[in-house]
Amino acid sequence: MAGRFRLLPLLLVLLLSCGGNEFFSGPRAYRHLQAQLEMGDRAPGSEGSARVADYIVRELERQGWEVRQQRFSYRGVPLRNIVGVRGQGPILLLGAHYDTRRLADQDPDPARRGDPVPGANDGASGVAVLLELARVLAHAPLEVQVWLAFFDGEDQGGIDGWPWSVGASYMAQHLGEIPHAVVIVDMVGDRDPQFYAEGNSDPKLREAIWQLAHELGYGEFFTPTVRHTLIDDHIPFRQRGIPAVDLIDFDYPYWHTTADTADKVSPETLERVGRLLQAIVRNKVGLH
């Protein structure tokens, strides 16, 4: 009961700030996560990858977003980035990768390290958050142009010579319009979340986001201290001089293992992250 009362001020803030009556729903986001896992292995070039990409396109179109697709190949493997676009004004890109790692090379059981990673948290959680956000923002007036970007080919680094963030690198190199700010959500569904500041993120934008998380009542989950410095989908944009932040819980114990399954993900965590992104859009964080 006490937890419900702690959430009440946050709900009032979001009602006033979202410009509409739609709230981000953790259970709805979780259903998007489950749908992705039902598609099986989503490594680049796989049948599951094509199915989840089509699913993303359908969901964006169903909510009235303009959908743009980038089709390209890397080492002979077909890849596809997807972007949903809505609104006018300075561009805020919110991104996640939808591919899953082909090999569970961190699995504690050596016999399982050749198996694919289910990718509930590492891949599906970020996609789930963005797809539910697409529904919420479709009902709100926007003072910015929002890009919801879904990257292929992020999670194959170190396998057969692949680097990390192939899809994000391709998008960053082929931008027709330049985003003012980029926020990446990766591994954002852990049942025991701890979002530490990430060392390769833009310091000013990172500070603003963590401060907003505290204002929303999420301070116990968002620690402004830098704990990890990572290569992720924000790096290609930072290399182009675009302020970019990686929102990631890298202390997830099932990273790159066969145990990265739906039961390790919490709808409540997805909801906190989604409502934080909703507030970032409403407050035009990084766009002033």
Whether 230 shows a pLDDT value over 50: the answer reads yes
- Count CB neighbours of 213 within 10 A: 24
* pLDDT digit string, tens, across residues 27-55: 999 999 999 999 999 999 999 999 999 99
Whether 164 shows a pLDDT value over 70: the answer reads yes
Listed residue (81, 68, 236) closest to 146, CA to CA: 68
pLDDT of residue 21: 57
Q: What is the CATH number of domain 2-283?
A: 3.40.630.10
Buried b / exposed e over 136-146, threshold 16 CB at 10 Å, is bbbebebebbb
**Helix, strand, coil content of the chain in percent (nearest 5):** 40, 20, 40
pLDDT band of residue 288 (cuts 50, 70, 90) is confident
pLDDT of residue 140: 87
- 9-18, 164-173, 269-278, range with the lowest pLDDT: 9-18
* pLDDT digit string, tens, across residues 65-87: 999 999 999 999 999 999 999 99
pLDDT of residue 121: 98
Q: Give the mean pLDDT of 58-66.
A: 98
The fraction of the chain above a pLDDT of 70, given in percent, is 93
pLDDT band of residue 16 (cuts 50, 70, 90) is very low
Q: Is the pTM of the predicted complex or chain greater than 0.85? A: yes
Whether 18 shows a pLDDT value over 70: the answer reads no
Listed residue (70, 207, 227, 42) closest to 149, CA to CA: 70
pLDDT band of residue 115 (cuts 50, 70, 90) is very high
